Amino acid sequence: MADIVNWAPVRRSSMRGFAAHAPRTASRCDAAALASINVDQWRGLADRAVEPNAYNLADWELPLDATARDRTNAAALTACTDAPSAESGAGALIGLVPVVSAWRAYRIPLPVLVSADPYGTLCTPLLDRAFANEAAATLLRQARAIGQHALILRNVALDGAAMKALTAALERDGLTPHILQTHARACLDATQDADDLLRDALGVKKLKELRRQRNRLAEQGDVSFQVAHAPGDVVPALETFLALEASGWKGKRGTALLQHDGDAAFIRRASPALAERGQCEIVTLRAGTTPVAAAIVLRHQDRAFYFKLGVDEQFAKFSPGVQLTLDLTRYLCADPAIALADSTAHPGHPMIEPIWRGRLAIGDVLLPLRRRSHVVPLASAAIALRGRMRSSARRVLHIIRKRQEKNT
């Protein structure tokens, strides 16, 4: 039997509309602070999770929550069994999802919790495979008990085991999830032969052109693909990645990890900590001694996650990011421990989608917690409006940038 842990009851408002929820009170979550969760229990839950998600690992989430840009002091919905665990003597942790308020996530003053992820990667909750349905029901019950009307999971795997467990828990209460948006993003079936996969994806002509580019790159020095596994190797390899990322277009836009002290501190703490547990690698492509591309790859169970890529744009004519991705594809396909690699890329990504032709159904899902709640349609409408406004703003920004590039 699951029990609710680490939550504090809150006074419920009459909720007569937006005015009843000023930003000062709407930002409150009243769930467990991430730092209060037993790390050994968290790691144990990750090992038993019904569905992998490296972005919800303790050694990723805790550094991220401590310093990363746009993400500090998140809370977590948690579920535990009654039986004491070996790690803490308390009930075993069987469910966890980091959350923030709807005000913080969307600037919407409603009693709704939203999965916390500043990088838009993956927010699939960790559910114990032996108690997945029970854990899912408890997470929802906890959110309801602290006065929330809905839980929104952003960038969740729609067809995964965790979403199935949450849907089943809702159905038992006579509720159904609402998909707010959905898209397909690139993934790699790493059980296939890499050469066959790349030939089918890119075709003989494109592969021939890439080999020509690689041969031209080799004129700068022998081309090598290097993988840093051990923490002592990950640390310098990470610095190489950070420098490459900041040297390119991300640096020009001010979004490189190295350009924000909090982001840099987060990734410098998380990467070696994950590497200690075999859950982080830094892959680097070099021409001689010169790094031309590097990427952070996370691992959880039988899945790899392609987090970020940085390239030296001085070598752009040799397609260094593509060259690194081809080597990474061969590397992952040759590893029997990896069955799938998630690109965690935006839909339509021009580099990864032609190479990794598999697709994962990803979406934002609203999980209602109460029947006939007026908050649910309000939240859905407000988020839809916000999405349309952001899309329009992005299109305008894209046009402005294109004109600026044309005039320079």
DSSP readout, 217-258? HGGGS-EEEEEE-SHHHHHHHHHHHHHHHHHSHHHHHT-SGG
What domain range includes position 329? 191-338
Q: Is residue 344 in a domain? A: no
User: Would you give per-residue pLDDT tens digits along the chain (408 residues)?
Assistant: 333 333 333 333 323 332 333 333 333 446 789 999 999 999 999 999 999 999 999 999 999 999 998 787 899 999 999 766 555 446 799 999 999 999 999 999 999 999 998 787 999 999 999 999 999 999 999 999 999 999 999 999 999 999 999 999 999 999 999 999 999 999 999 999 999 999 999 999 999 999 999 999 999 999 999 999 999 999 999 999 999 999 999 998 899 999 999 999 999 999 999 999 999 999 999 999 999 999 999 999 999 999 999 999 999 999 999 999 999 999 999 999 999 999 999 999 999 999 999 999 999 999 999 998 999 999 999 998 887 776 666 666 656 666 665 555
What domain count does the chain have?
A: 2
Position 351 in a domain: no
- Measured in whole angstroms, how far is the alpha carbon of residue 268 from the centre of its chain? 17
Quickly tell me which residue has 């007026």 as its tokens: 374
Is residue 74 domain-resident? yes
Q: Residue 29: which of 162, 134, 152, 163 has the closest Cα?
A: 152
Using CB atoms within 10 Å of the CB of residue 176, give its burial: 0 to 12 exposed, 13 to 18 middle, 19+ buried: exposed
Please indicate, yes or no, whether the overall pTM of this predicted structure exceeds 0.95: no
Same domain, 244 and 173: no
148 and 218, same domain (yes or no): no
Is the domain of 209 the same as that of 294? yes
User: HSE on the CB side for 20, CA within 13 Å?
Assistant: 10
Residue 248's CATH number: 3.40.630
